[in-house]
Amino acid sequence: MSEARKRTVPEKGKSSLTVAEDKHPGDPRPDKRPVRKTHVDQIKESQSRGFMKHVATAAKILVAMLLIPPFLNYAALQREITHLKPEIGELYDIGWGQKLFLACQGKDPPTVVLDAPTGMTSDAWTMVWTKLAIYSRVCVYDRAGLGFSDRPHQNHTDADGKEGQSNYKNKWTPYTVERMVDDLQHLLTKSSQQPKPFVFVGAELGALVSQFYAQLYPSDVAGLILINPITDDLFDLDSGIWRHHWFGHIVPSYQTLQLGAAIGLARLAIMFGLLQHPLHMAKGISEDVEKRQKHLLCHPRHLSTVVDEHYFINESFAQFRIARLMRTVPENVTVTFLSGNYYDEQMPSALNKAWAKAEQSLMNKIYPRAQHIVVNGGDRHLIYKTPYSVIEPVQKVVKQWQTRHRTSQER
């Protein structure tokens, strides 16, 4: 009988058994012999491996592109902050270890306090305040979280503090006008002890802060110059056109800018000329101011405060209404309105008309004796585009107070 299978017995000392089997025709068992790949299959497999390698490389590059800009931006911010702080001014502790930036020049009273527009720093007054210091003492400051000022601190202790120590537990909502005035009052009268009385020059949100301060501390205030003041009924006029623009366009645009700063894209946009700093329309600003404004455009903390000042504006309006019901600005406080032909000449006319209507309503209802100065060709940028339009009315109010003060002393 022919042998169908051949068995190979290992030699002595080997532990394995190798069996070679011949497969009969019709044997149902699968063929275990390796299938030889064709040339086409080898090419396809090579192409597949190459494609996956390219995908992995692209993924690494993408991750690097996402991670490197934030790290580079953070490193640049830490390096820049050491030499971009203003030469004049310092940080004052207003309580809880929270510090606000304040800079003052000049000696003669009254003390003129300049309060910047919504979301802007004291650099907005760079073309104004040094010239005003010739006639009286002038101070500029940054609200909490803006520029080099600390963000509002929260008191997390269980017990409230004592009066006058600014350490009540969560006394005011951060980024609202009540908290801003509380901060400013401690900054001016306790931390730095500026000479009274004060003449407040406020633009937009700064004008709201100025009025609120005069309502709470009327004996400390000699005058108000309100530049394009934002009013508490602005969002109610003309079918709420400003409310829709504010929360539908302005707030989201600043949120996008904050995100861009956080991931490092804002710095790249500035480098390639795709993003301009807020004072780019100003003529004659120093190189340091320009660098500082670009630095802040790349700073997520600063931009977070810009967002918050806009986002909590309704709370500020509500606080302002309540304060006005309790106490109005005394008649002996000189009030001057300063505005241009438009709020912003690049905005739609409907928005400009609504803003002008709100400003006129404030004058008619609350300050009927106020002087209204209109700067031809001016808009919300006038404080740094046409600084003398601001300097002259402030100088006039200061001289009026100084004349009255000298007269009273001579009697």
Q: Residue 2 has what pLDDT?
A: 44
Task: Judge residue 231's burial from the number of C-beta atoms within 10 Å of its C-beta, 0-12 exposed, 13-18 middle, 19 or more buried.
Answer: buried
Q: How far, in Å, CA of 150 to CA of 116, rounded?
A: 16
Q: Rg for the chain (alpha carbons), in Å?
A: 35
pLDDT single digits (tens) 119-136 = 999 999 999 999 999 999
Q: Which domain, by its residues, includes 76?
A: 39-84
Same domain? 109 vs 202:
yes
Q: Residue 47 has what pLDDT?
A: 59
Q: What value does the mean pLDDT take over residues 96-104? A: 95
Q: Are 280 and 381 in contact (CB under 8 A)?
A: no
- Give domain status of residue 357, yes or no: yes
Same domain? 61 vs 74:
yes
What tokens appear for 377 in the block?
A: 């060709």
Q: Pick the range with the lowest mean pLDDT from 117-131, 161-175, 344-358.
A: 161-175
Query: 406 vs 147, which has greater pLDDT?
Result: 147
Same domain? 197 vs 160:
yes
Q: What is the pTM of this model?
A: 0.82
Confidence of residue 240 (pLDDT cuts 50, 70, 90): very high
Confidence of residue 406 (pLDDT cuts 50, 70, 90): confident
* Final residue before a domain boundary, out of 26, 58, 84: 84
Q: Residue 126 has what pLDDT?
A: 95
Q: What value does the mean pLDDT take over residues 147-160? A: 74
Q: Residue 405 has what pLDDT?
A: 86
Same domain? 151 vs 284:
yes
Evaluate if residue 218 carries a pLDDT over 60: yes
Q: What is the mean pLDDT of the chain?
A: 86
Q: Tokens 């008309």: give the residue.
A: 353
Query: 101 vs 54, which has greater pLDDT?
Result: 101
- Give domain status of residue 335, yes or no: yes
Residues pairing with 98 in the sheet: 95
Same domain? 172 vs 230:
yes
* Final residue before a domain boundary, out of 84, 117, 139: 84
* Final residue before a domain boundary, out of 84, 118, 153: 84
Please write down the long-range contacts of 292-296, taking CB distance under 8 Å and 24 or more positions apart.
Answer: 292/84, 292/86, 292/123, 293/123, 294/270, 295/77, 295/80, 295/81, 295/84, 296/121, 296/147
Q: Residue 20 has what pLDDT?
A: 44
pLDDT single digits (tens) 265-305 = 898 899 899 999 999 998 889 999 999 999 999 999 999 99
User: How many domains is the chain built from?
Assistant: 2
